[in-house]
Chains A and B, each alone.
Chain A
């Protein structure tokens, strides 16, 4: 299996532009997570999906952020309009299922986003 695939690896954009990050989870995994990592705040959970349904989006910073999972093999995280404070590494992760059983999360390589 190729693992969790994210694109692009790097994104440099100007403030106010729309940014779309993409993720393909591991086949057969039913849960997908979007995390953001910064030096100050560490890894923060933005949103997660079970069976393509958003379960918890309480970590999404504000209305500028939106996420979709139209099918089991694809998810997007969109920022519109982007701001310099959105600069971070965005990770997508997948697992067989989410919950207290703590199934192992597999992370993608991340997208390094820089908003100028």
Chain B
């Protein structure tokens, strides 16, 4: 089992809809969780971090963490074409103590 798993997509949503991106992980000792956005041909940039169970909201973005089920998700409300990018889930592994990335989910927001 991969340390961090994401559906590669593409996930296609219409403009204005909610995009839901999911990520599961294998290391129960993982402590910190992140969502990075990467536009085509660009470098990743951090958009959300979450450290405890529950929801964390920042503007149109909501990160959700459920450590018991070992998943973390990202909701994007009122999706815009400018949100079209690859979204990378990342976490600090409890065993490895280093930042591990998933392979990312490609989101396409249709105007």
Q: Decide: B43 and A45 in contact? CB cutoff 8 A.
A: no
CB pair A107 B98 closer than 8 Å: no
Cβ proximity bits B17-36 to A, threshold 8 Å, 1 near / 0 not: 00000000000000110100
Question: CB-CB < 8 A to A105: which residues of B?
Answer: 44, 46, 99
Query: Shortest CB–CB separation between residue B26 and chain A, in angstroms?
Result: 15
Q: Using a Cβ–Cβ cut-off of 8 Å, how many residues does chain B contribute to the interface with A?
A: 21
Q: Which bracket fits the contact residues of A? A: 20 to 34
B80 at the interface (CB under 8 A from A): no
Contact partner of B97 among A33, A41, A100, CB < 8 A? A100
Are A102 and B92 in touch, CB under 8 angstroms? yes
Are A98 and B98 in contact, CB atoms less than 8 angstroms apart? Answer: yes
B62 partner residues in chain A, CB cutoff 8 A: none
Q: Which chain A residue lies CB-closest to B31?
A: A100
